[in-house]
Structure 1
């Protein structure tokens, strides 16, 4: 089997999470500057097999797309063009940032570390991926 790569896409930086090869466990991989994202994914794919991408789907409480979806749509076109053989699925990402910070608090992480937005993005990507895995 191949891995599943999840993205918590952001204007400035994107959190990335990945499954193990059996697709059982979601783990944070890293956070990269969004402008470097396609290059990072290309390099990652040289060493690892990825079966699909899961990209966070930001929604409002009334289930309508959030404003950041307008930023994600052009990226999805670029991702599809760059890696046409890898399907893209979407996963609701409501509350993932809040849940990420809450998990950092519960794990006893110091306040300074919890303010690291890159780490929050990576944990958010992990939560998106875990929610996706839980669907099946």
Structure 2
């Protein structure tokens, strides 16, 4: 079994989470500048066996795509052309940022630590991955 990699795509930076090889545990991996995302992913899949990529799907409350979906679609096309052997799936990401912020508060993270948007993006990617795993 390979790892499942999840992406919380952002305009400036992107959170990334992965499972272990047995696909039992979702963990935050890192946050990378979005302009470096494809390069990072290509390097990562050379080092680790990734069997699935999950990209967060931002939706409005009425279930219509959010504005940021317009940025994600071109990325998805590039991703599939650069890494054609890895299937890509989508996962609803509504409320993940809010859930990530609440989890930081619940874990006792100090206010200064909670202001780090990179950590928020990484936790959001982990929540996306966990939701995807539960859906499977």
Scaled by the length of structure 2, the TM-score of the pair is 0.99
Question: What secondary structure sits across from 2:91 in the alignment?
Answer: strand
Structure 2 Cα separation of the partners of residues 97 and 40 of structure 1: 23
Q: What displacement does 1:110 show?
A: 0.3
Partner in structure 2 of residue 108 of structure 1: 108
Unmatched segments (≥5 aa) in structure 1: none
Structure 2 Cα separation of the partners of residues 33 and 101 of structure 1: 20
CA displacement 1:78-132 (0-9 Å, x = unmatched): 0001001101000000000000000000000000110100000000000000000
Partner in structure 1 of residue 24 of structure 2: 24
Q: What is the total number of aligned residue pairs between the two structures?
A: 136
Q: What displacement does 1:46 show?
A: 1.3
Unmatched segments (≥5 aa) in structure 2: none
Question: RMSD in angstroms over aligned alpha carbons?
Answer: 0.4
Structure 1 Cα separation of the partners of residues 68 and 46 of structure 2: 30
Structure 1 Cα separation of the partners of residues 107 and 85 of structure 2: 38
Scaled by the length of structure 1, the TM-score of the pair is 0.99
Partner in structure 1 of residue 63 of structure 2: 63
Aligned pairs (5 A) from 1:1-136: 1-136=1-136
